[in-house]
Amino acid sequence: MLAARARDLGLSITLPDYDPDASQPVSLLHVAIDAPVTPGQLDPANAASVLRMLDAAIDGCTAGRYAVMVTAPVHKAVINDAGIAFSGHTEYLAARTGGDPVMMLTAGALRVALATTHLPLAAVPAAIDDALLVRVIRVLNHDLVSRYGIAQPRILVLGLNPHAGEGGHLGREEIEVITPCLERMRAEGLTLTGPVPADTAFTPGMLAEHDVVLAMYHDQGLPVLKHAGFGSAVNVTLGLPIIRTSVDHGTALDLAGSGRADAGSLRAALTEAVRIAVAMDAA
């Protein structure tokens, strides 16, 4: 597939087979596709081959043959159309590795983690409970120490409701769930600020005093981050036994095979994965 795409774009490249002992800077482990690929056209016939590629990467990382895993976008619907239950890279990786994933995106010095990820907005309030917040905050704190070398992570926790509930007048999740959880975890020694209103959290002064923002749901935190760094932001999956980064965008089928796709986020994801691996080795 890569060779055919290079020919279509008029690129003269070599694709050496993977050899862990070779000296070339780039080599590729061949995973056969099941049907010819037409740029920009989804084909359920190749869904199984996508998962075989993921499995090969996971197996290599868990066995120690590969140091990191960097994923490009995947189209979830076409895999489901093939009759294979698939909700996304992260969930698949967690099921295969036994990890406890937390999604965090980075753009320069800005880091935004998510308490909930791909849920309908109507389902978010019920999902925000004590057990979820404890799990996410513990993973976030642990990996900021172990992967980023931050000795005492400063975590800025957003409220769920406008104005963080306005003292209960705009919602009681802050009073009944978020605040009691944060108070208990502060007593354990974690540095937690919040819950704070989302509309005041992303100000320069607040961000300068914290290492990461924990948003309650996907579109509470990620629009700000993507505005700050779209094209160079990185999706980092915390809580896994392997290092995994990814791009900050989707499949963009209309750009496939055109030569016009922006690879900036993929380059950033590669750089971030290597940086984490080197830092962890040094530690």
pLDDT at 230: 82
Contact 30, 45 (CB under 8 A): no
pLDDT at 25: 83
Contact 177, 254 (CB under 8 A): no
Report whether pLDDT(238) > 90.
yes
Judged by average pLDDT, the poorest of 131-140, 238-247, 249-258 is 249-258
Residue 263: which residues within 8 A CB-CB, separation 6 or more? none
100-239 folds as Isopropylmalate Dehydrogenase (3.40.718)
Q: Which two tokens stand for residue 226?
A: 């993507």
What are the tens digits of pLDDT across the range 120-176? Answer: 999 999 999 999 999 999 999 999 999 999 999 999 999 999 999 999 999 999 999
What are the tens digits of pLDDT across the range 24-52? Answer: 788 899 999 999 999 999 999 999 999 99
What are the tens digits of pLDDT across the range 4-30? Answer: 999 989 999 889 999 888 777 888 999
For the chain, the structural domain boundaries read 100-239
- For the entire predicted model, the pTM comes to 0.91
DSSP letters for 147-188: TT--SS-EEEEEPSSGGGGGGGTT-SHIIIIIHHHHHHHHTT
Report whether pLDDT(178) > 90.
yes
